[in-house]
Amino acid sequence: MSTIEQILSLERIDELIFRGDPVESALTRTFGGQVAAQALVAATETITDKAVHSLHGYFVAPGKADQPTVYLVDPIRDGRSFSSRQVRAIQDGETIFSMQASFHRRGDVGPEHSDLMRDVPDPETLPVDPSTMPVSSRALLEEWGDWDIRVVPSDRYEHNPYTPSQQVVWFRSKRPLPDDETLHVCTLAYMSDMTLLHSSLVPHPGHKVQMASLDHAMWFLRPFRTDEWLLYDQVSPSASAGRALTHGRIFDRAGNLVAMVTQEGLTRTLREGAQSVPSRRPED
């Protein structure tokens, strides 16, 4: 299994062209978090004086997990305070993912406030029990062997009565990672696609759906490390017409809000004999 350092290591083919090698996987489609993270790596390779603060991406076609992906970077603008990049991920001449990322100069100051982290049990007190997860989640856990992912039982935290679907997850890298801010930012982009869409199924236990990320937006708010525990507080405000909208706030263990994510995904009722997440292994 490839490490996150290997996954995020791109070959620079030309000044604005990069290539990511295929990652060994039982999935037939490239994991969306991988494509988003590699696209962000490509964008950051063209920036020297600013840090990424947001990205907005669309998954426009399914990627093939056993093929390399080429990333084309368009340097839209370089200003004094902000820079913008557009990245296209391409396989077989076809765009599979399109992303815009914005970078902000360091050192600006202004008003400060943030949401508070809800009161939840410490991650060490939670068992790792894949049997409590949907079949599609358990299949993905085999792909995520480098990550410690612990879903907080729904009876262990106070629920918001105005939100129909809630899920709270602790996660981190099992291995210590290098002291490289860009690596941790791109790693969180990878991790942010883990479990989020599954939060839309909390009110619908046993309902089998075809799942795929459609778009992905992310804001990086404060410093963090992905080899330390992060709390992913997820809600799904709506599911309708075969799509679900999901939203997640990511806190560090001290309760600082470090990132936010919004994603819409396909949650179409699964036809007989099909798989929720296409894989070379049959689902149970």
Distance CA 216, CA 250 (A): 15
Count Cα atoms within 13 angstroms, Cβ side, for 46.
27
Residue type, 103: F
Whether 263 is a known active-site residue: answer: yes
Q: Identify the active-site residue in 193, 215, 233, 252.
A: 193
| Alpha carbon 164 to its chain's center | 22
- 151, 167 Cβ separation under 8 angstroms: yes
Distance CA 280, CA 198 (A): 21
CB atoms within 10 A of CB 151: 22
Q: Which whole-number Å values give the CA distances from 264 to 129, 166, 261, in the listed order?
A: 27, 15, 10
What sections of 66-134 are H helices per DSSP? Answer: none
- 259, 186 Cβ separation under 8 angstroms: no
Whether 91 is a known active-site residue: answer: no
Give the list of residues 6+ apart from residue 5 with CB closer than 8 angstroms, or none: 177, 178, 183
Q: 159: which 2 tokens?
A: 């629920």
CB atoms within 10 A of CB 127: 8
Measured torsion, CA atoms of residues 21, 27, 33, 34, in degrees rounded to the nearest 10: -10
Q: Identify the active-site residue in 210, 263, 275, 276.
A: 263
- 204, 157 Cβ separation under 8 angstroms: no
- 261, 236 Cβ separation under 8 angstroms: no
Q: Identify the active-site residue in 91, 137, 166, 213.
A: 213
**What would you report as the CA-atom Rg of the chain, rounded to the nearest whole angstrom?**
18
Active site members: 193, 213, 263
